[in-house]
Amino acid sequence: MHAKTMKNTALAAGLLIAIGAGSATAAEIKVLTAGAMKSVVLAVAEDFRKSTGHMLVVENETVGALVKLIEGGAAFDVAIVSPGAIDGLIAKGKIAAGSRTAVSRVGIGVMVKAGAARPDISNLDAFKRTLLAAKTVGYIDPASGGSSGIYLAQLFEKLGIADAIKPKAKLKQGGYVADLVSSGEAEIGIHQISEILPAPGVTLIGPLPAEIQNYTVYATGIGAGSKETAAASALVKWLAGPETAPVLGTKGMERPPA
């Protein structure tokens, strides 16, 4: 065999080995994510794949529903739920100890149908008047395990308006409260800001007044039974790192305080 031919053959073999090695290190990461973090994960998935070779398979549900899935033995590599849920799953041996990482937080906002008059929610009294004057109020059903719905049910009780809200409440089992508002089923909608901004047919009036604002913090945890712990750790690092920070802003989210 000529020297040039041998050299070309060796180069080709080297290329095949490199390709094979790259394929061997690429992983498929199963991500169970709650609420607003779904849009963030999907937005960074392609850049993450290009950088690491790892593919993401994403499943979205409320925190409560995901906890039940995980407790029931669902296979996953990374869970993105509340810090409290992560801690509970660590205690039950479902998530690896020491793997909890807070990656984002989002506040609650108020919306109306696009083109509708913008009611006053500039302070607590104005917010209460707006809710009491509304014919219908949409929010996540607390029974579904959605964090914003649970908080709002408690808030209405605390403000002494729960009995007035109940008969006109339009509860969403999951997904977007904006669907109730854009369809006209609910006059006012209350949901996490990140779930309002991308929704068509609605207008974000603004966040809840500061004295009653509630932030949902999202944290990641790596599955105790994951077979792709290195890839899962790479995803957590990506979500907590500078690559994802600009995406959070566009989704109405922010980094949690240190």
pLDDT in tens, 14-50: 433 333 334 447 899 999 998 779 989 999 999 999 9
Contacts of residue 4, Cβ cutoff 8 Å, sequence gap at least 6 = none
Paired residues of 59 in beta bridges: 32
The phi, psi pair for 32, rounded to 5°, reads: -105, 110
CATH number of 108-212: 3.40.190.10
Q: Number of helices (H) and strands (E), helices first, in the chain?
A: 11, 10
62 class by beta-carbon count within 10 Å (0-12 exposed, 13-18 middle, 19+ buried): buried
**pTM of the complete model:** 0.74
At residue 144, the pLDDT reads 87
Report how far apart, in Å, the C-alpha atoms of 185 and of each of 120, 199, 216 are.
Answer: 20, 15, 26
Q: Which CATH class is domain 3-104+217-250?
A: alpha beta
Weakly modelled stretches of the chain, pLDDT under 70: 1-24
Query: Residue 34 — φ and ψ, nearest 5°?
Result: -95, 150
Domain limits, CATH 3.40.190.10, in the chain: 3-104+217-250, 108-212
pLDDT in tens, 57-66: 999 988 889 9
